[in-house]
Amino acid sequence: METVSDWDAAEFIDTKEDVIAYLEAVLNENDPALLLKAIGAIARSKGMAQLAGALTRSPEDGCESPPVKGPPSFTTVVKVLDHLGFQLSIQQKKAS
């Protein structure tokens, strides 16, 4: 019988181009929860497990605070992306 192990996207993200392609694919799904998981995987791929953990805390709580239930604040997401060397930008949707 074969053993199935958990798949972790972080193991396959090596370059800046990988990060961009992954984020673009995830953003096309229009799923906020998937985006947060992707950002966490990117942080882990860069050896930033502690930073990935920040996605479960509000930045106003400080480092010593316990994890906050629910999704991270928008501020936290922006700060994590900034730490990874990325920023958000807006573009108009393509007509369908």
pLDDT digits (tens, 9 = 90+) for 48-80: 766 656 554 544 545 444 455 677 888 888 988
- Parent domain of 77: 14-60+71-83
Question: How many domains is the chain built from?
Answer: 1
Within-domain flag for 93: no
Q: Model pTM?
A: 0.69
Within-domain flag for 7: no
Smallest CA-to-CA distance from 33 within 75, 71, 65 is with 71
Within-domain flag for 27: yes
Token couple for 86: 């990325």
Within-domain flag for 52: yes
Categorize the per-residue pLDDT at 1 as very low, low, confident or very high, splitting at 50, 70 and 90: confident
Q: Checking phi first, is residue 57 left (phi over 0); if not, alpha (psi -120 to 50) or beta?
A: beta
Within-domain flag for 90: no
Within-domain flag for 8: no
Angle at 25 between CA 19 and CA 29, to 5 degrees: 140
